[in-house]
Structure 1
Amino acid sequence: MRKILGVFMMMFILLVTGAHESSAASSTYTVKKGDSLYAISRAYNVSVANLKSWNNLKSNIIHPNQKLTIQAGQKPASKPSTPSRADSDKVVREFTVSASAYTANCNGCSGITKTGINLKRNPHLKVIAVDPKVIKLGTRVHVEGYGYAIAGDIGGAIKGNKIDVFIPTKSEAYKWGRKNVKIKILE
């Protein structure tokens, strides 16, 4: 009887200790030049809100060499990705906007969005510039003729129901031109 009680006691201690250690564990990520909370959140498959909460951040601004806590169990993905149909299909709002295109490869362009996404390093991402009074930064959207994207930038001429879609090359941006398109705000 003592042996059985001893075995149960050891199992209980191991179970409690192991559970406590796994919930308390976290990893640290060192911010590199050109990183953004959005890109880091996509890489670790966590939300920007969680990153901000875990690290007591009041804004989306991060700096090179800054240490960020990532909760345990989050594995880095291969690279940041554009939101897809699988992420969410629930449409919160739908309306028509005037859409033009922009590129990160112009004179005076840094290629870094308002949310910190480096478009020169990530030309495959679909990002739109928005008026944050109309579409909140970080919102997932579907733009007719462009696809699923993230509202990750703003622009001086982007006021009201206007957006700019990021296109990697100037020639493709010129081809896009300006057109009225339907935009769906996704949950």
Structure 2
Amino acid sequence: MKKISIAFLVSLCVFGFGMKESLASSPTYNVKSGDNLYRISLLYNTSVSNLKTWNNLRSDLIFPNQKLIVGSQEKSSKQVKSEFTMKSTAYTAYCNGCIGITKTGIDLRKNPNQKVIAVDPKVIPLGTKGFVEGYGYAVAGDIGSAIKGNTIDVFFPTRREALEWGRKEVKVQVLD
């Protein structure tokens, strides 16, 4: 019986270390003041349960500046076609001159929780699915007059959220 128990413990340790290694290179998110697991799960198209499992959390309590694993490396590594570092800004469906309908026909006013990025179609073709660091999984569904080269514009349902995003450099993974 002891031999079986020791073998079981050894296999658990090996599995556990392998799991930590693969998750260590998974996408991460730096918790901001006001965040909660539910909001983060929506950003990364996952469940609160997955976030708790990946981060060994026993409760829903998280803290500002805490780094959370927000995706499985196994899933994303199979899908990543290419990766870019891009300049990023944010927009809403209610800006001056906006009608709320993207170049690909997504009505952002009727679908405010849709994750959409505006891209230069010469760099990322319209309709492409991707992962934007700090934003989550999104579709390249729009263009913009200022979106040229390695620049994206991420959609948010409110002006406040768009302003909070501001301007930043992000990694963008193009998925198969």
- Of residues 126, 151, 157 in structure 2, which corresponds to 1:162? 151
Instruction: Give the 5 Å matches for 1:1-187.
Output: 84=45, 89=76, 90-187=79-176
Aligned equivalents of 1:128, 1:139: Cα separation in 2:
10
Tell me if the contact between 2:131 and 2:174 (Cα under 8 Å) persists in the aligned partners: yes
Distance 1:123 1:170, change over 3 A: same
Counterpart amino acid of residue 94 in structure 2: N
Normalising by structure 1, what TM-score? 0.53
Q: CA deviation at 1:83?
A: 9.2
Q: CA RMSD in A?
A: 2.1
Tell me if the contact between 2:115 and 2:139 (Cα under 8 Å) persists in the aligned partners: yes
Q: CA deviation at 1:176?
A: 0.6
Identity %: 64
Normalising by structure 2, what TM-score? 0.57
Gaps of 5+ in 1: 1-81
Question: In the TM superposition, what whole-angstrom CA distance separates every residue of 1:95-153 from its partner, at most 9, and x where no partner exists?
Answer: 10000000001232100000000000000100000000000000000000000000000
- Structure with the greater alpha carbon radius of gyration: 1
Counterpart amino acid of residue 156 in structure 1: S
Tell me if the contact between 1:83 and 1:140 (Cα under 8 Å) persists in the aligned partners: no
- Structure number having the greater helix percentage: 2
Aligned equivalents of 1:177, 1:83: Cα separation in 2:
19
Tell me if the contact between 1:129 and 1:165 (Cα under 8 Å) persists in the aligned partners: yes
Counterpart amino acid of residue 139 in structure 2: I
Aligned equivalents of 1:153, 1:83: Cα separation in 2:
20
Gaps of 5+ in 2: 1-42, 47-71
Aligned equivalents of 1:146, 1:179: Cα separation in 2:
12
Counterpart amino acid of residue 111 in structure 1: G
Aligned equivalents of 1:158, 1:136: Cα separation in 2:
13
Counterpart amino acid of residue 166 in structure 2: G
What residue number does 1:56 align with? none
Aligned equivalents of 1:132, 1:84: Cα separation in 2:
24
TM superposition outliers: structure 1 runs of 4+ over 4 Å: 82-86
Secondary structure at 1:173 match in 2:
helix
Count of aligned pairs between the two proteins: 106
Tell me if the contact between 1:138 and 1:150 (Cα under 8 Å) persists in the aligned partners: yes
